[in-house]
Structure 1
Amino acid sequence: MGHHTFDAGKAAKLEDAAARYRSVSREELLWALDPTGTDAVVDLGSGTGFYTDDVAPHVDRVYAVDIQEAMHDHYREKGVPENVALVTSGIEDLPFDDGELDAAVSTMTYHEFATDGALAELARVLASGGRLVVADWSADGTGEDGPPLDERFSETEAASALDAAGFEIEFRATRSETFLLVATRR
C-alpha cells in the first residue's frame, strides 16, 4: 500500500487551484492547522509549494520538505516566500532537532510516506502538543482521481497508525474521495 512518489514531470498539474481546493481548501487547512503566527511548520511532500504558500503568511517559518529536488526547482520558478525554506529530504530522516517544530501538514501526500519509521520521525521532530494535519486520498474512495486505491489508506487506518506513533486524534472526517485528520503529539 502507498509509497509512490508524484511524477515531478507533471508538477504543473499541482497548481490547478480548482482541483486542489476540492481536496482540501485553504480555509479548511488553516482551520485545522490553527496557526499562532509564531509557529515553525513543516509541509510534508510540499511539491510545488501550492499549500505551502497558503500556510506561509500565517506562521513564522515553513519548511517545505520534498524528496524531489525537481519539485523545489518548480517552486523556485514560481517564487518562494521569504519565510519558506526548501528542504530536500525523505520523511524518515528529517533534518530537524527533537521537538523543534510546532506543526506539520500533509496535503495529499500521506500515502507517499506512511511508514512506522516516518511517523516515528514526525513524532520526534514535533514538540509535545504539536499539531499534525493530514488530508489525503481515501482508500474508501472511487479512485477516479488521485493515486490508485491500493496505494491509499482509509481514515481509520491512518488514525490508528498515528495513534500508535504517539499522536492523539483531535478531529476526523471522511469525504467521498478524501479524509482529514487533525492530531496532536502526546
Structure 2
Amino acid sequence: MDKDQHPLHAASFGAAAAAYAEHRPDYALAAVRWALEPAPGPRVLDLGAGTGKLSATLVALGCEVVAVEPDPAMRVELHRAAPDVRALAGSAETIPLEDASVDAVLSGNAMHWFDMAVAGPEIARVLAPGGVLAGLWNLLDDQVPWVAGLARVAGSAAVGPRDTPAAWRATTAGLHLPPDGHRARFGSPEQAEFPHGQRRTAGSLVATLSTRAGMIVMQDKERHAAQDRILAFLTAQPETAEGEFTLPMATGVLRTRRL
C-alpha cells in the first residue's frame, strides 16, 4: 500500500462496521493475558477499539476499560458489544485522556494504522510509568496447506502483509517504537504468538475476508469477483467445502513498557 492509499484504507472500516462486528474474530485469551502481564494496574485503554472485540475480552478479564475509536459507526457497534465500556471519540494521535491515567494501552489489529511519530509520544503521555503498550493481531496459520492456498487465491487485498505469522514478525518488529527522538520512552519490544481459531463456513469466511480494508475500498465489480474466487477455492477444499470448520489462526502480540 502506498502512502496515498493509507488514509483511505484506514478510514474505510465504518462502511462495513456491522459486518466487522459480526464476522471478525476475537483475540486468544492467553495472548491478551500475556500482553497485560507486566502492567502495574488494571486501567486499560483499548486504542483504535473498533467494534469492541478486544474491549469485551478485557472486561471479561476484570480490567477497567476505556475505549478510544475515531469512527462513529464503529463506536455504535462497540456500544452493542461492550455496553459497560466508556467509549470516546479520538485517535492514537489525539487521545482524550489525562496524563498517566492508564496502566496499559492495547490495540487490536489497529496499530499499523497509527502515525507513531505523533501517537508514540501521546501514548507515552497517557501511560503510567512502567505501563504496557501492546499491539495484537490475528494471523492466518499458513503452515496449514489449505490456509496457504487461501492466502494465494485471496490476494493481498484480503490477506495482507501482517496476516500470516512470518510476515507479521517481520513487519511489526519495530512498529511500537516512535522515531528516534522518542524511543527513550519505551523499552525493547517483545513478540509472542498464541494459538487461536475461529469457527467458520465457506460463506462466513468470505464475509470475514471482505471486512479487510483492501476489500472494502474495491469497486463492487472487483470485490464481487474476488469474493467469488475465494468462495470457489473454499468449496473445492475437503476441509472447508461443507458445514463449519475451524480456521487455524494465531494471535500475535508485540509489547513494550513505558520507562
Deviation (angstroms), 1:161? 3.3
Give the TM-score taking structure 1 as reference length: 0.77
Name structure 1 gaps, 5 residues minimum: none
Give the TM-score taking structure 2 as reference length: 0.57
Deviation (angstroms), 1:88? 0.5
2:171 aligned partner: 154
Are the counterparts in 2 of residues 107 and 135 from structure 1 also a CA contact under 8 Å?
yes
Return the alpha-carbon distance in structure 1 between the equivalents of residues 177 and 41 of structure 2: 30
Measured on the aligned residues, the alpha-carbon RMSD in Å equals 3.4
Deviation (angstroms), 1:124? 0.6
1:63 aligned partner: 66
Matches within 5 A, 1:19-168: 20-21=25-26, 24-34=27-37, 39-81=42-84, 84-136=85-137, 143=156, 145=158, 154-161=171-178, 164=183, 166-168=185-187
1:12 aligned partner: 18
- Count of aligned pairs: 177
Of Structure 1 and Structure 2, the greater strand share is in 1
Q: Which has the higher contact order (CA 8 A, sep 6+)?
A: 2
Identity among equivalent positions (%) equals: 25
Return the alpha-carbon distance in structure 2 between the equivalents of residues 179 and 144 of structure 1: 20
Cα distance per residue 1:78-136 (max 9 Å; x no partner)? 4512xx11111111121212111100101110111133111110001101100111124
Name structure 2 gaps, 5 residues minimum: 143-150, 163-167, 195-248
- Higher-Rg structure is 2
1:172 aligned partner: 191
Cα distance per residue 1:51-91 (max 9 Å; x no partner)? 1000013244211110012111122234512xx11111111
Secondary structure of the structure 2 residue equivalent to 1:52: helix
Are the counterparts in 2 of residues 168 and 185 from structure 1 also a CA contact under 8 Å?
yes
Are the counterparts in 2 of residues 26 and 51 from structure 1 also a CA contact under 8 Å?
no
Are the counterparts in 2 of residues 45 and 109 from structure 1 also a CA contact under 8 Å?
yes
Cα distance per residue 1:131-179 (max 9 Å; x no partner)? 11112489xx973645577xx9812331543872621135214799985
Structure 1 residue ranges, 4+ long, deviating more than 3 angstroms after superposition: 35-38, 141-149, 159-163, 173-179
Return the alpha-carbon distance in structure 2 between the equivalents of residues 29 and 35 of structure 1: 12
